[in-house]
Structures are given as C-alpha cells and as structure tokens.
Structure 1
Amino acid sequence: MSASAHRGEIFTLTDDPAKGAEATVYHADGVMVIEDGLITACGAWDILGPTLSPDIPVTHHKNGVMVPGFVDAHVHFPQLSMIASPGKQLMDWLKSYTFPAEEAFADPEYCKAAAPVFLDALLAHGTTSALVFASVHEQSVEALFEAAHARNMRLVAGKVLMDRDAPDALLEPAEEGYRKSKALIERWHGKGRLGYAVTPRFAPTCSKESLQSAGRLLAEYPDILLQTHLSENHAEIARVAELFPDADDYLDVYEQSGMVGDRSVFAHCVHLEEGALSRLAKARSSIAFCPSSNLFLGSGLMDYEAARKAGIEIGLGSDVGAGTSLSLLATMSEAYKVAHIKGTVIAAEQAFYHATLGGARALHMADRVGSLKPGMEADFLVLDYAATPVIAGRMAVARDVMERLFVLMMLGDDRAVRHVYLAGKPVAGHAFAATQQAAP
C-alpha cells in the first residue's frame, strides 16, 4: 500500500454552496491522507496529524491552498494551435481558422505529437479532468485517449460527427460516423479513467441522419455522455432555423433525435428560446458556461442566473481555441464579469464550485473527482498565494480565505498553479518545492 499525507490550507466543497454554509469545508491547517490514489482522510491537522503512522511522509504546502483539480466542461483538442485567431464571429471563424486547423488531424503522427502537448497544457493550468472535442478523425481520439491513459488522467472525449457545411476533407456519411464512434466506445470507454462522449459538432454541420445516429449511440450505451453546441451565436441560430424548418426551436432539433437527456452537456446556451431552459432542466441536461469564448467571438452573454434558477447544473468550459486561456481561474474571472453585467454576483466559493464539484456533476464524475473527501480520487492542486508580485501584495491584505480565493480567480492563471497531483502523484513539470516533514 502506497500512502502519503499533505498538510496545509485546504478548501473544498461537498455540495453547491448556494444550498448552505455546510457545503463549504475549510481547514486553515489541514491534512489530507492518500492511499493508493484515493483520499482516505481529510480534516484538521491537530486532530488527524497525531493519528498518522510515522512511516507516512507528510508534505507541507505553505503560503498556498489545496483545492480539487479543475474540471473543464468544454474544450477542443484540435484548436490549441489556433488559439487567439482574430477578427471573426463564430460561423466565419470556423471556416477561416478552425476547419483548416482540424484538417491536419488526418495525419496520425500529427495527432500523436499534438495530444501530449494539449494534455500537458491542461495540467499546467490545473485542469485534471475534462470533456474534450477531438476532430472528425478517429485517430485524433485514439491519440488523445492513449496520452490521457498514460498520464492516468480522468478524461471524456469523442470523435466529431459532421456530414455537411464544412470542407469535404472533414465530412463523412452519417453511418460511417456512427460505426467509427461505436468502435471507439468499445475500445476506450471505461478503460482506466477514460470515458466516451458522442460528439455531433452542432446542428448546422449535421444532417438529420447524423443527429439520429448520435441518438442511437446514446440509447445503445446509456452510460456515455453527449456533448455538442447550442444557441451560441445569432447567425448559427438562423442557420439552424433554415436547415430544420420543422423544428420548434434549436433545442427541438436535438430533442427530435433523442439527444436531450440526463447525460447531455450543451455548450454555450447564450440565446436560448423561450421555454428551452425549462426543458433542459426537466431532461436534467447540463450546460457548459464558456464566457471567454462568448466574449472573444462576440457571441453574447449567457444568462447565468436564469440557468441557475431553472435548476440546471453548470460547469465551466475554457472552450479553447475560441476561449483565450486554458486556465479555469481565468475562466472564473470571465464568468464573474459576464454574470455581473447581467446583474448577478458570483461569490468565490460558487465560482470554485462550478470549476470543481459542479463541473464534475455536470460530467457525471462527481462520485470520483471534484471534492477532497474520503473515497474520492486524489486529483488536487496547490494554488500559490505568492504566484506573482501583484497577487502576493494583494494577499497580504486579504481578510479571509474567501477573499484569497476571489483574488486567485480574478488575478490567477497557470502561474498560480504551484503543484498538480493526479491520483496522489505529482505531475511531472511542476517543481516539487514543498518541504517534507516526518509525521508525529
């Protein structure tokens, strides 16, 4: 049995903090005990510390806070190389930048080289779990899963389904997309810490047959996820109305194909038609809130408060490459600003909920990750209170942990991520500078 302990400031959540203060767990001087990749205890040092075996090494993390690893609810593997591509709204941006970048993934060697770069970038920003779009090419999914499995990373991903309104090199018949997706599910879903998500890009690039094939896969494999885009941009919505004149609205296009259920994650949801939120809530579908990309592409401001009031689970999505950072700290900052403009203030503990436990719930992995409580997989971060001179100076006058968390989410990025652990093991590339001491 491999055991270790980590001492220091600890912040985690056991539920949505909007439900009450008891959802928040904070230890100014805490300790988390890990055995064989799982958390076996988490509590105050003065209570748990004396009970530790002298053989258990204790790593003391000072001037920082331990939090669960971040969960990115929407990000694109093929788009890291074209992040920060300027000057277009969604539909033109896809044609000018995204589709050309994704054509490169027809080369298996390109995929194998790109996957480690992408995953290491996620980890460097503190993202330990994610729901990921690959490209239309099955080799992009193979490479991504192989690299994630080698890192023991909890990852859900899928091959894009797309059979129209895109370059010929990125199109495939609906039945072929179904067959290749099915083969990937059989090969990878449930292997190690991996899961599969059926991935129709969005209604404008999918025929009815393609969308129906996605619905078939969901019916055949009830424990997989579905990920797609919904109501992001006005031109996109108009195109959907043109292509699907028999649908009541954009969401109805997906409903008609059996794609709206309790394992469906819809990115954006910026301009939902009347009644769509209540239908999403009734289906127990989730939303990936992607404020950075919505601002960057000029798509609009998601109504965060309306989605919350409807009872919909919300995760945060970096949405790189339309999003301009893989950092969920930076994404929390953008979410705060978007909600604030629309009249709602997101408290720090609420933002961290969406980036950790809430995101894990949206992706149906909250029984494994998203919280630092006994029985969970030990994916966690140490966030640095002195990551930059500005952050260090601001922390010197912060009044409590909630203010320190707020400072991190407003000013932090990958530099604030001091250490990353997957299943209790430090991720290579993060200098292991914390001191170790013998347990009492």
Structure 2
Amino acid sequence: MDSFNTVKAVRGSILDIRQVVDSPEQIVDNVRFVKDGLLLIENGKIKWRGEWEDGKALVPQGTRVRNYAGKIIVPGFIDTHLHYPQTEMIGAYGEQLLEWLNNYVFPTEAKYGNEEYAREMSEFFIKELLRNGTTTALVLGSVHPESIDALFETALKQNMRLIAGKVMMDRNAPDNLTDTPESSYNDSKKLIEKWHKKGRLLYAITPRFAPTSSPEQLAIAGQLRREYPDTYVHTHLCENKSEIEWVKSLFPERKNYLDVYHHYGLTGSKSIFAHSIHLSDDEWQCLQDTNSTVAFCPTSNLYLGSGLFKLSEARRRKIKVGIGTDIGAGTSFSMLQTLNEAYKIQQLQNQKLSAFEAFYLVTLGNAKSLELDHCIGNFDIGKEADFVVLDPCATPIQQLRYDNAKDLSEQLFILITLGDDRSIYRTYVDGRNVYSAS
C-alpha cells in the first residue's frame, strides 16, 4: 500500500467541473479538461493541478510519475442511494416494490444480524464499489447495528468517505427484522457516537420508509436529528403508487407522504429522499423550501416498474438531485451504466441528458447533493484526492466509437452509454490506489 505522507504525481488527461451550477446550461462553461495534465497529491489532498509542462518542475526529485497516457482522470464517482445488505439478491425476478420487499429483501436482510456474515458481505460490497470507480456512497444497512459496525470497519480500512446508517423499522416487517422506538434510538445513538466523523465516515439516521416506522419511531428519528444536527437523514419517498396509498392509510392526519417526514423534523439540507417519482405539487414545494435532496435511481425505477423521475421539474425548482444505483433493486454498481439508464428515462419523457450534465451529476453534483462539495467532487486545490482513471477504449466497440468521436462531449457520452466496470482502470481513495484492473 502507498504511504499516506509521500507526494504522488499522476499524469494523464484530467477532466472535472469547476464549480456547482444552477442550471444544466452553465455546465459546459465550467468543464475543465487538460489533455496532458498533472495532479500532485500530498497527504491525501490535491496539492497542485494543471498542465504537465507547467507542473513537471514541481514534481519532487525521485518521485515516481504514474503516467496514464490515453486514459481520462476524473473525480471519484459518488452514489447517493444503495443498500449493501441487498447486494446478494440483485436481479431478483418479477415483482414491484412491496412484493419485492417481502419476497426477497426481508429474508436476505435477516442474515445481517450475524456479525461475521455482515463483515464478509461488507468486504464484498466495498470491493464492488471501488471496482466500479465509486469512492463515496450513501448506504443503508439492515436493522441490525452489527451490519453498520461491519460496514464502517471495512470502509475505515480504506479511509473511504462513506455515509451509512442502521435501518429503523418497528412495524410492518418480519419480527426478526423489527426494532422498537427505544432500541432504535439507543442503537443509532451509540453508532453515531462511535462512527460519525471517525476518519472520513459520516452517519445517516435511517428510517427505512414511513410504512415501517410508527409515529413514535419517526419522532425518535427527529429527536436524533435535533441532538446530532450534522448527521444525515436517509429514507425513501413516493417510489410506488401502492406504497403512497399505504402511507395515506397509515398516516391519515398528514396531507401527503413527504409531510409525514416533515412533521417529524426529518426534512432539510442533509436529508436525502430516494426516488421521489410520484410527487404532488405540495411535496415538490416542500423539498424546495427545506433544501432537501432527491436521489434519482434510474435502474431500480425501471426494474421495479416504479415510474419515470421528473428531472426537468427538479431542475426547474432548483432542487438538489443525486444519482444512485439503489443496489439491489438497481441492477448495476456502475455509475456509468446508471447514467445510461438515466439518459433513457429522459428520452422517454422527451427530455435530454447531456454527457456533461450526466458527468456533473455523479461527481460535483452528487457532492453538492450530500453537502460535501467543499471536500470532494472536483480537483480544486485542497480537496480530498478521490479519483478514477477511466479507459475510454476498454472494449473493441468502445475503441471503434472513440476513434470516430468528434469531440470531448461525444467521447464522454460513449463512456456513459457503452462503459461499465471494464472502463475503470484504476480507483484512488485518499490519494492511494485501491483498485487496479490489471
């Protein structure tokens, strides 16, 4: 393993987005691309970036230059919504959300009360993230605190920036997967105090979704948020029409699904609501007013037949949108393949998703959606050195298309539509190489 404290020099084509933008039209003007560039990294942070010719004299004598000629160096991908205990049942056949949970998810998640099993699967999960170029993720565990201990222990070994939380679930689930308001409070509190801000780890208060938490448990979740205001809230919202009707029957006093969470103090700048497909005008307005974030999960939305997320409406209202794989309803850990499906969802609504906007969404845009753009998402000096080396010609068909690409936008679009884990040549976390394709 590379030393934490030595200067590292990385040479290749460097691509990132200069700053957070308010609209897709602003992205093109903020694209930074250096054909022959240099990154200098010290103590896990970006020390210098720019043209090779301008920076080569800054490389300390005797430093090995990692030369990735013909490759594209980009900020590490960020995944804003996925379930690590669902890794092993990815691709389960033939159900929509509620049936899928009962038939596949709950039996699988029951295994994660076993600490040894959770540790084994967390190792597999983290390796899959890194193999796909994902260096930061917002992750749900199972109801068992052991599942989060195992995940955080594994991520800490890599000094990885990871946000995760124990699921809170005290009703409408199998007995072996339910907690209580009191136990969920105590377990979550212990996990927050043990792991939040340890290394680069962060904690998310995680009621699974409104139907599986009683009003008492949601109140407890809100209490935790008040006690630990710099933690995250991570849950699901308006994914499926049957789910929405269920919420109405369980919370008849609330005016809509999002109002359930808002009533208990769970909306806000670090609150991430996965899916948000079937929103009312009032719910859109509440997301906007509270500066909450939506996680758009295209592969799972298509796989479960949930519906088409209205990215154009979120853009119009300037609501923060993250992109998530939603493993295991999502069918790929690859953010490239996830963007491929996001493009198709836009096409089905007669909308466009440009290559540059797609790239922005999974890097600096996702960093902003998690309120982490001050430390990750591009190659500004002083930011954390999480990055991916992409091979734009990883397969024969990619090589053929790349040879005929007219410009950078088309080259990037080819990566999004034809790329997958084979396109990930190297992954760096905290300035260290943690995955190599060869």
- TM-score band by shorter chain is over 0.9
Q: Distance in 2 between matches of 1:189 and 1:127?
A: 20
- In 1, are the aligned partners of 2:131 and 2:435 still within 8 Å (CA)? no
Counterpart position of 2:51 = 44
Cα deviation for residue 62 of structure 1 reads 1.8
Letter of the aligned partner of 1:381 in structure 2?
Answer: V
**Aligned pair 1:9/2:16, yes or no?**
no
Counterpart contact for 2:44–2:430, Cα < 8 Å: yes
TM value normalised by structure 1: 0.96
Q: Counterparts of 1:328 and 1:133 in 2: how far apart (Å)? A: 18
Q: Classify 1:20/1:170 alpha carbon distance in 2 versus 1 (closer, same or farther; 3 Å).
A: closer
Which residue number in structure 1 is paired with residue 298 of structure 2? Answer: 291
* Letter of the 1:108 counterpart: E
> Per the alignment, in what secondary structure is the counterpart of residue 326 of structure 1?
coil
1:71-98 Cα offsets, whole Å, 9 max, x none, are 0000101000000001000000000000
The alignment status of 1:247 with 2:260, answered yes or no, reads no
Aligned to 2:177: 170
Aligned residues: 431
Q: In 2, distance between residues paired with 1:385 and 1:408?
A: 6
1:335 aligns with 2:339: no
Q: What is the identity, as a one-letter code, of the residue corresponding to 2:7? A: A
1:426 matched to 2:428? The reply is no
- For the pair 1:273 / 2:241, whether they are aligned, the reply is no
Name the structure 2 match of 1:149. 156
What are the superposed Cα offsets for residues 229-272 of structure 1, whole Å, 9 maximum, x if unpaired? 00000000000001000110101011111101111000000000
- Which of residues 391, 414, 417 is equivalent to 1:410? 417
For residues 37-436 of structure 1, the aligned pairs below 5 Å read: 37-431=44-438
Task: Kindly provide the amino acid, as one letter, of the partner of residue 224 in structure 2.
Answer: L
Post-superposition shift, 1:44? 1.3
Q: Displacement, 1:20?
A: 4.9
Cα distance in 2 for partners of 1:77, 1:228 equals 14
Cross-structure match for 2:38: 31
Could you say what secondary structure the match of 1:336 adopts?
A: helix
User: Equivalents in 1 of 2:437, 2:346: separation in Å?
Assistant: 33
AA aligned opposite 1:260: T
Task: Give the equivalent residue in structure 2 for 1:436.
Answer: none
Distance 1:252 1:342, change over 3 A: same
Q: Counterparts of 2:186 and 2:121 in 1: how far apart (Å)?
A: 25
TM-superposed CA distance for 1:339, in Å, is 1.3
Q: Please tell me whether the aligned partners of residues 135 and 160 of structure 2 are also in contact (alpha carbons under 8 angstroms).
A: yes
Aligned to 1:437: none
Taking the aligned partners of 1:116 and 1:343, their CA distance within structure 2 comes to: 41
CA distance in 1, matches of 2:51, 2:283: 45
Q: Any unmatched runs of 5+ in structure 2?
A: none
Q: For residues 430 and 337 of structure 1, what CA distance do their matches in structure 2 show?
A: 28
Distance of 1:427 and 1:177 partners within structure 2:
34
Q: SS of the residue aligned with 1:61?
A: strand
| CA drift at 1:4 | 1.2
**One-letter amino acid matched to 1:313:** K
The alpha-carbon deviation at position 428 of structure 1 amounts to 4.3
Q: Following the alignment from structure 1 to structure 2, what is the Cα–Cα distance between the partners of residues 185 and 249? A: 30
- When normalised by structure 2's length, the TM-score is 0.97
Q: What's the offset of the Cα at 1:138?
A: 0.1
1:53 is displaced (CA, Å) by 3.0
Q: 3-state DSSP class of the match of 1:330?
A: helix
The separation in 2 between residues aligned to 1:348 and 1:220, in whole angstroms, is 41
CA distance in 1 between counterparts of 2:379 and 2:285 reads 32
State the AA in 2 paired with 1:351: A
Distance 2:93 2:153 in 1: 32
Q: How far does the alpha carbon of each residue in 1:302-334 deviate from its partner, in whole angstroms, 9 at most, with x for none?
A: 001101111111111000000000100000111
SS for the counterpart of 1:356 is helix
Where structure 1 has 5 or more consecutive residues not aligned to the other structure, the ranges are 432-440
In structure 2, what residue type is equivalent to 1:153?
Answer: M
Question: What one-letter code is carried by the residue in structure 2 that aligns with 1:23?
Answer: N
How many angstroms apart in 1 are the aligned matches of 2:29 and 2:400?
31
Larger CA deviation: 35-44 vs 288-297: 35-44
CA-CA distance at 1:51 after TM superposition: 3.5
Amino acid at match of 1:165: N
Distance in 1, Cα, partners of 2:181 & 2:317: 34
Cα RMSD between the aligned structures? 1.1
Tell me the secondary structure at the aligned position of residue 281 of structure 2. coil
| Deviation by residue 1:381-411 (Cα, 9 ceiling, x = unmatched) | 0110211111111100011111111000011
Residue aligned with 1:294, SS: helix
Q: Which runs of 4+ in 1 moved over 4 A?
A: none
The answer to whether the 8 A contact 2:425-2:436 is kept is no
Distance 2:195 2:160 in 1: 13
